Amino acid sequence: MSIRILLVALLLTIGLAGRCAAAQPTMELTIAGKTQSFSQSALLGRADATEIHVPRDVAYGTATTYRAVPLADLLDGATIPADNVLEARATDGFAAQLPMDLVRNRDPATAVAWLAVEDPAQPWPALPGKKVSAGPFYLVWIGKQAASVRSEQWPYQIARLATQPSPSARWPALAVDASLPATDPIRAGQSLFITQCLACHRLNHAGSANTGPDLNVPMNPVEYFQPAALRRYIRNPASVRDWPGRTMPAFPPDQLSDREITLIIDYLAYMAHRKTGL
User: Is the pLDDT reported for residue 19 higher than 90?
Assistant: no
CA trace torsion 235, 241, 245, 247 (10° rounding): -10
Residues of the chain with CATH 2.60.40.420: 169-271
Beta strands 158-164; 26-31: pairing state: parallel
pLDDT at 24: 84
Please state which CATH number belongs to domain 169-271.
Answer: 2.60.40.420
pLDDT tens profile 229-276: 999 999 999 999 998 888 899 999 999 999 999 999 999 999 999 999
* Burial grade of 208 (CB within 10 A; 0-12, 13-18, 19 or more): buried
User: Is the pLDDT reported for residue 13 higher than 90?
Assistant: no
pLDDT tens profile 166-178: 999 999 999 999 9
Residues of the chain with CATH 3.90.420.10: 24-165
pLDDT at 129: 87
Using alpha carbons, select from 266, 53, 275, 65 the residue that is nearest to residue 180.
266
Instruction: For domain 24-165, give the fold.
Output: Sulfite Oxidase; Chain A, domain 2 (3.90.420)
pLDDT confidence band for 5 (50 / 70 / 90): low
CB 131, CB 112: distance < 8 Å? no
User: Is the pLDDT reported for residue 21 higher than 90?
Assistant: no
pLDDT at 177: 95
- Alpha carbons 211 and 95: distance in angstroms, whole number: 9
Which own/partner pairs from 207-212 qualify as long-range (CB within 8 Å, at least 24 positions apart)? 207/95, 207/167, 207/171, 207/174, 208/87, 208/89, 208/95, 209/93, 209/94, 209/95, 210/93, 211/92, 211/93, 211/94, 211/247, 212/247, 212/248
User: Is the pLDDT reported for residue 7 higher than 50?
Assistant: no
pLDDT at 246: 87
Mean residue pLDDT across the chain? 92
Q: In the predicted model, what is the mean pLDDT of residues 135-143? A: 98
- Across the beta sheet with 112-117, the strand order is 50-54, 64-70, 112-117, 137-142
Q: What angle do CA 129, 195, 237 make, to 5 degrees?
A: 40
In single-letter form, the type of residue at position 56 comes to R
Where is pLDDT greater, at 33 or 85? 85
pLDDT tens profile 177-196: 999 999 999 999 999 999 99
pLDDT confidence band for 95 (50 / 70 / 90): very high
pLDDT at 4: 54
Where is pLDDT greater, at 111 or 14? 111
Interhelix angle 185-192/258-271, nearest 10 degrees: 100
Measure Cα distances from 106 to 48, 267, 278 in Å: 13, 33, 44
pLDDT at 11: 46
pTM given for the model: 0.88
